[in-house]
A and B are shown apart, each in its own frame.
Chain A
Amino acid sequence: MAAAFPYTHYACPCSDLTSTAPSSISKRISNNQPANADLTDDRTFNPHDPRANCALYPLDHLLFCDECDAIRCPKCWTEEIINWYCPTCLFEVPSSAVKSDGNRCSRNCYTCPACTAPLAVAAMPQPAGDYLKPTEPATEAYMLQCGYCDWSSRDLDVLFSKPTKITEQLAKQRKARLGSSGKEASDKDAKPNPVGHDTAFGSLTTFYKAQLSESGDAQNQFANSPYSSPANLQRIMNIYGGLSANTLKKSRETPQPMREARDSNEGFSTYTPDPVEHEATVISKLRSLSWEDTTTTEQRLAAPPNNYSRFADQLWPVATPLRTRKGKRCETCRHLISRPDSKVSHIRYKIRLLAMNNIPRIFMRPLHLPNPPPPNAAFRLRADDAVQAELQPNVAQQYILTIRNPIFETIKVTLATPGTTPGNVASRVTILCPSFPVGPAGDVWDEALSSSTTPASASNDGSRKAAMASLTGKAPEDADRQPEAGKVWDRTRNSTSVIVEIVPGPLKAPPSIVPKTEAELADQALDEDDEVLEVPIYVRAEWETVIDADAFGPGAKDDKHHGRQGEKVTKELAYWCVLGVGKIAE
């Protein structure tokens, strides 16, 4: 994955893929099981399954509903738009104008159709000679110009008479262009040019509307049907669907409710097998142009006007698409779980229930840090800076797995993982101590004092301690300690660490004596990401809580399923997560 190792991705339990728990939550596997045993076990979440990509998220993308006590992901929250705004000029667009403007900024914000950089309005350079001729006032002309590539609206022969109201001027010019091509077609009836898509659409719409009202009126005159105006609807319904006996009778009465379109004024255009000029010109243009003169898929799909632009000189400037501010609700209980400030200029949130503050977090780091230790991910500038050592297959590695508790109760955590990782490469995984308690989070100041504030550095607890140890002159007790099965490795106030042993599997099957067929070889070919060692872990946390209005925020008080105030309730949270350990060497 693109993220630097080690990383943790969390799965929301809302899909059938991620909701199932492994067969026995306390399953501890240390024996060598045949690799297939786990592949057949459907209940193991496989991070290499293509579906997993749609289910896994970095923790900061997930929200939490404190009414349902459940993780919420884009699949199980609903969104409602609070406001629409242009990301370039920050103008808030009233909701009534959003759709008619095509969900794009109607002011002067345009992006380059060739490279998507913002466009600026620039004056046309005047030919040098004109400055010296005072005879006529220089006609001002402006154009849209890209600051990044050399595209400008001059390529389209689009110039503006004034530097403001670009959108209106642009719309006028486009309309003029489309209109002229439509007229041309109706002039020469014998060999019609292709009518523009939009023109044809317009004519067809008028045609169909006229036909529908005509045939509707006609029927009203003689057939005094009980339902006068829905009658034509009824009849059209028959056209699109099956015919019942009754409607069949009716359609016989008026066999031709609608005729076909006949000429280009009605949006109808035909072609014959004889070679036609415009197609020949497209081909000869294609023949003469180079690869760079044709449009890319991205350019074509960037905006509807460019959908049919085959050549780069047909690309129309792209109005900046609007962005939205969205409130998010839990799909189950409709409770707001995220609501930004409604003002565009404010970036704060009024409500934002992050999963990060509500579910146990998991970090992983190697027990024996490589020498020298890699710099903290937060200080990395480029992805390449992290020269990450590849994992040697079949060599056991030990890792410290740290569970951090963000809530104010002591939680009982149970971890489960398949003995061998699912997927094409089978690595063995053993959690030495899969069940343990984690202490409660204190108030903000306790936390700030006991560990550093950035979440990433939480994984460095051990090294901080080592640093402390070296300062105090004491020999670090970690140095000669051996991991023991069933024992917790390390414990701080609200985090607990255990040891995981991982034996990366070999990427290639051992060479066999029997020569393999091509199909078998192709079968063995690895997919992208198969060499990435990812360990799925099922985390289950259990805690008891006293119903207290303050501890669970407003709203919890009047909620029925929390029980009466002062009563003890057992709560439970379980989810799959995936630890990215590293890449296995070939």
Chain B
Amino acid sequence: MAASPSPAADYFAGRPAVRTRPPPAVLGASHRAAGTPGSPRTPLLGRSISSQFGTPGSFRAEQEEHVIYELGARHLSAGFAGESRPRCVMRFEPESGRRVGDYRGYEPNHTQKRNRRKKGDDWGAEYELYRNDVRALDLGLVEDKLGRAVRTVHANHLQLDQKPRKAVLAIPSLLPTPLLEIALKVLFNHYTQPPSIMLLTAPILATVGAGLRHALVVDVGWEETVVTAVGEYKEVFQRRSVRAGKMLTQEMSKALEEQAKKDAAMETVQVDAELAGDVTERMGWCRPRSDTPKNATLETAKRIPLPGHPSKSVTVPFSKLAEPAETALFATNATAAELDDHDLPLHQLAYNVLLALPLDLRAICISRIVITGGVSKLPGLKHRLLQDIQHLVETRRWDPIKHYGSATTHHQRVLSERNANISARKQRPPDDGIPLSPAKKPIQDSVPHSERLHDDIKDPITFKAERHASQGKAKDDVKNEVRGVETLGAWAGASLVASVRVKGVHEVEREEFLKHGLRDGDHVY
């Protein structure tokens, strides 16, 4: 504000003496704010304030506070327990890997030069900290990058004093052990010196962040989508697919390049990972299942400027911006035969996990679908995914066999018979008690209670007892219907866990780690 003092600010600031004077006077203003009237020119304010308030902890019994870190393939978030959002989210990008004093990233025509970089397997490599294939990874580089990010986080955002604070580290489940070790090493060796680090995995935290104990967590991340069934805060079953953010941005890049090619007068435009990611985040969307692909009446065109070429832009119809999600995440253009186990579309993946669950847990989980991860912010994605899962469940039920081949007709007959049975049973009017012939009914009434015909399952007393028992925990537990539950995400989940002072068992002690490294027992994940 001082840099651009507008006249209005001066006039209305209410502290005219302050605003119109050079910096020493501003210090004087702080003086006044602190309730110590004095000469505005005294530059000793800093001392007087710190002597008043500068000794924290001595008079305020500070509760133990935790620093929460969340590590992802492309970002590091950090903040304090009990807060709903991280104080900062650091993204890993080429600029963060530059030398000290190298400011090329700020030059206006810089992006052009970078386009020379390779594509293909390397897609987005500069934007990630690690990938799950550790063999091809320079672990030293990962450590350097992470160390730098942690130092930046502390210097610019957390700015903590010397008091040691415990840390909580939220990690993707099944984070490769070498990477986990590096993360712990970097945090323990940082000068804030946390005495211990509690490790928690993202699916569990997403469950906590949704207020649930059981859930089907669909984590649509960067490199992979991980579907995890969580029961009683434990990871029960997990499947992965490469259909996630990376593939999505790659498809977006393809779509944009195609579009640019169509605009005749343009030479070939290369859309790099940065631009494609940006477009996906800002303009990408996901159409609902029933939507007709060409909704001509509502069609609008979007002009997307190309960085580095101030005058150039690509014009894309809005509907086209939904296509990458179709191809990358839901594989609508691929036949079942083309799909491999590692690249199942998301709904299929979720369905497969549900299918593998025991019946009762499946019934619970299907009504607790928690969609999280960076890509889950794509508008429309959550509903689309639920719709597709519902569609799968309706068409295939819980039958592990997809194609019966020559037995198809037989199977369908069996199914339809079963269906008929079920619907017939449903349609039967609910009658209390056991169906008894009218002739027997009076007898039933006259028999002493203990000698009557008895059905344990349909007994009204059993019903009542069951209802009573369930009252405490879940009186209106929704089961068996496809339903999504919003979550606050892994970071907020970790913040919740730490703020209610739950002690985690997977806590790594500093001394222990520095002496022995990760023990065998430690990597439960």
Contact = CB atoms under 8 A, between A and B. Distances in A.
Contact of B99 (A56, A94, A283, A310): A56
B101 A97 contact: no
B1 to A, nearest CB: 5
Contact of A92 (B30, B211, B298): B30
A50 B80 CA distance: 32
A120 B9 contact: yes
A122 B8 CA distance: 5
B53 A96 contact: yes
Nearest to B521: A242
B171 interface: no
A144 B211 CA distance: 38
Contacts of A162: 14
Nearest to B319: A287
A345 B379 contact: no
B451 to A, nearest CB: 35
Interface stretch (B275-283, B352-360, B412-420, B425-433): B275-283
Contacts of B386: 271-273
B379 A242 contact: no
B292 to A, nearest CB: 14
A83 B214 CA distance: 46
A522 B387 CA distance: 43
Nearest to A194: B486
Contact of B155 (A79, A99, A269, A283): A79
A181 to B, nearest CB: 13
Interface stretch (A196-204, A398-406, A540-548, A557-565): A196-204
A240 interface: yes
Given A78-B191, A102-B87, A343-B43, A240 B211 contact: no
Contacts of A396: none
Nearest to B497: A240
A3 B102 contact: yes
Interface string B1-34: 1111110110111110000000110110110010
A212 B8 contact: no
Contacts of B14: 162-164
Contacts of B47: 342-343
A209 B496 CA distance: 10
B288 interface: yes
Contacts of A525: 116, 118
Nearest to B384: A273
A91 interface: yes
B159 A90 contact: no
Given A201-B488, A271-B382, A273-B387, A79 B499 contact: no
Contacts of A99: 80
A83 B46 contact: yes
A81 interface: yes
B147 interface: yes
Nearest to A146: B4
A270 B486 contact: yes
A262 B476 contact: yes
Nearest to A236: B502
B56 to A, nearest CB: 4
A549 interface: no
Contacts of B118: 522, 525
Given A51-B138, A51-B144, A241-B506, A270 B84 contact: no
A149 B6 CA distance: 14
B140 A269 contact: no
Interface stretch (B217-225, B299-307, B458-466): B299-307
B145 A95 contact: no
B283 A121 contact: no
A68 interface: no
Given A1-B99, A240-B504, A297-B281, A266 B8 contact: no
Interface string A115-134: 00111111100000000000
B383 interface: yes
B88 A301 contact: yes
B500 to A, nearest CB: 5
Interface stretch (A106-114, A220-228, A427-435, A450-458): A106-114
Interface string B161-195: 11000000000000000000000000000010000
Contacts of A163: 9, 12-14
Interface string A314-354: 00000001101010000100000000001111000000000
Given A262-B474, A307-B85, 11 more contacts: A3-B102, A52-B99, A53-B97, A53-B99, A81-B159, A120-B6, A122-B8, A241-B505, A267-B211, A268-B211, A324-B155
26 contacts: A1-B104, A53-B97, A54-B141, A81-B159, A81-B161, A83-B46, A89-B1, A90-B23, A95-B161, A103-B159, A164-B13, A194-B486, A201-B492, A237-B504, A240-B497, A240-B504, A241-B506, A268-B210, A269-B486, A279-B379, A287-B318, A291-B303, A291-B304, A345-B23, A525-B118, A527-B116
Top 9 A-B residue pairs of the complex, sorted by shortest distance between their CB atoms: A241-B505, A261-B211, A94-B53, A201-B84, A78-B191, A54-B144, A163-B12, A294-B282, A273-B386
Interface of B: 1-6, 8-9, 11-15, 23-24, 26-27, 29-30, 33, 43-47, 49-50, 52-54, 56, 60, 79-80, 82, 84-89, 91, 97-104, 107, 113-114, 116-118, 120, 138, 140-141, 144-145, 147-148, 151, 154-162, 191, 200, 204, 209-214, 232-233, 278, 281-283, 285, 288, 298, 300, 302-305, 318, 377, 379-380, 382-383, 386-387, 389-390, 472-474, 476, 478, 481-486, 488, 492, 495-497, 499-506, 524
